[in-house]
Structures are given as structure tokens and as C-alpha cells.
Amino acid sequence: MFETFIFICLCSWIHICLLGVFGVDEVKSVSVMEGDSVTLNTDDTDIQRNDQILWRFGHNNILIAQINRKNNKSKCHYNNAAGRFRDRLQLDHQTGSLSITNTTTTDSGLYKVTSSRTETPLSTFNLTVYAHLPVPVVSRDCASSSSSSQQNCSLVCSVVNVGHVTLSWYKGNSLLSSISVSDLSISLSLPLEVEYQDKNSYSCVLNNPISNQTQHLDITQLCHTCEGRTCGDISIYLLKHGLTILYVVLISAAAAGFLLIVAAVMIFCTCRKHKEVNHVGKYDLMLIHL
């Protein structure tokens, strides 16, 4: 009992000490859409009391900007961090805040404010820049439709080149299924099987923590594109190639007609020649008789 009490006291004491030492090192999460500007606000008066503050980026703590209050000067180190922040940083002398304009997804990462005196960050920001989301595409999955039942229509919702997103199927407002990805630049697809007669409203939603894009499903339109495949295929083929087929038929007919005429003329001529030959023959015979 007493040991437990001592143990609890010890734990609380360690906890308080840890908080005291590392309490300032709390990470502030900031999210922004790609292309927007963002300000990392140092509202902490501890920071504002420092004569010199430094802004560092990434796990390598690359120096990107500094403010010197003594001589009222600030400097952005645009050549650092592979020049990625070129002409996009703004500093506020008064507060020490850093603004980044026209953000890109590669600006995501940790930003630390340090004083010149200590390496321990006075403040740390975790910035996440989210890319604009494409509208997901819903298409009929003809390959698996042929193998499944006659009443069902297989669909697939897909997106390409996305990262840190979730793709979901909704029936009305209720979630049916979803798939998440944390990597960058990846393609995602999520299947759905519906009945042809289904009158519910379905939607496919792509979202990240700060935005979403929705594609509503039109079953009657989508599920007829490869329904009754042979019929559908032939009618679509005819629609696309109707004129060509018409030309071919017309030209064939014309050619056949021409051939018929040529044949008729040839036969006519041959007959006449024959007749003439016969006449000549007759004359010959007559001549011989004479």
C-alpha cells in the first residue's frame, strides 16, 4: 500500500518535471490548401521578448529566416532549403510571425522558432499543405459485370494522383465503404455493386481533412452503358461507324451496278460480233458457192 503511494507520488513528480522541461515544445498543427497563404503565428510573449529569433524548417532544421530586433533587421535565407521558399516568405518584426505565400504541398513539415541563445525550439509548427482534390470518377466495371448476376451492376469509383485522402461510397447519408491512403501520388479505386432497379441515391466522396469532392451516381445512365453487351456494342458501333458503313454499302452497290453494266455491254458487243462473224461467214459461203 505504502509502496504504491510512493510509486504514484514519484510518477506524478516525474510527470510534472517532464511537463516543466518539455511543456513549451508542444507542436501546433496548421493546415492549408495548396496555393493559399499561411501565417505561423508566434503569439507567445516569450518569443517576442527575444532580441533575435530564427525560423528553421524540416528535420534538418534548415535556417530559412531570422529577425534581429536590436538593429531592426530581418533576413530570409532563400538559397537554403534548395531554394524552395524563394520570394514567398514574409516576416513580422513585431510579433516574429512567419508568412508563406502561394504554398505548395512540399512546404509541409515542421517549422521551429528558436532564439539565438538556445537550440530548444520556443515554438514548433506542423504545417500540412493539402493538394486540391480532383472529382472522383465513377465508371461501370464491365469485366466483373459479365460474371455477376443479371440483376446487379458493378461499379467502381476511382481517383489518380492523390495522397493523404479517403475515398468513400455513401448511400444517402450513410457510409457504405471507404479506403484511405497516407502515401503521396497514388491511384485509388473502390467497387460498389448495385441493383439495376435501385432507386437510392449513391455518391462517391473523396476527402482530406480540410476539403472534399463528391460525385453523384446515376444508376440508370451508368448501368446501361454495357448492359446486354452484344446489343449495346453493336448499336454503339453502328452509331460511331454508321456513315462509314453507309458509304461502303453505297460504293459497293455502285461498283456492282457498274460491273453489271460493263458485263451487259460486253455481252451485247460479243453477241453483235458473233452476228457479224456469222454474216461474214455467210458471205464467204455465198462467195464460195458463187
Task: Detail the DSSP E strand segments found in 141-238.
Answer: 152-162, 165-171, 174-181, 186-195, 202-208, 211-216
Nearest to ligand NAG of 60, 72 (CB atom): 72
Among 27, 143, 248, 285, binds ligand NAG (CB under 6 A): 27
Query: What is the nearest approach in angstroms of ligand NAG to the Cβ of residue 127?
Result: 8
Count of alpha carbons within 13 Å of 80, Cβ hemisphere only?
15
- 72: which DSSP letter? T
Task: Supply φ then ψ for residue 287, to 5 degrees.
Answer: -60, -45
Count of alpha carbons within 13 Å of 5, Cβ hemisphere only?
2
Query: What is the nearest approach in angstroms of ligand NAG to the Cβ of residue 193?
Result: 4
Q: Is 178 in the site for ligand NAG (CB under 6 A)?
A: no
Nearest to ligand NAG of 137, 176 (CB atom): 176
Element (H, E) at 264: helix 229-289
Residues 58-117 touching ligand NAG, rule: CB under 6 A, are 72, 93, 102, 104, 110
Three-state SS for 221? Answer: helix
Among 37, 120, 126, 187, binds ligand NAG (CB under 6 A): 126
**Which amino acid is it at 55?**
W
**Which amino acid is it at 223?**
C
Q: Is 177 in the site for ligand NAG (CB under 6 A)?
A: no
Count of alpha carbons within 13 Å of 16, Cβ hemisphere only?
6
Query: What is the nearest approach in angstroms of ligand NAG to the Cβ of residue 92?
Result: 10
Among 39, 128, 189, 215, binds ligand NAG (CB under 6 A): 128
Query: What is the nearest approach in angstroms of ligand NAG to the Cβ of residue 182?
Result: 7
Q: Is 165 in the site for ligand NAG (CB under 6 A)?
A: no
Nearest to ligand NAG of 73, 282 (CB atom): 73
Q: Where are the alpha helices (H) located in 109-154, listed in sequence order?
A: 142-147
Footprint on this chain of ligand NAG (rule: CB under 6 A): 27, 29, 72, 93, 102, 104, 110, 126, 128, 148-149, 152, 193-195, 205, 207, 212
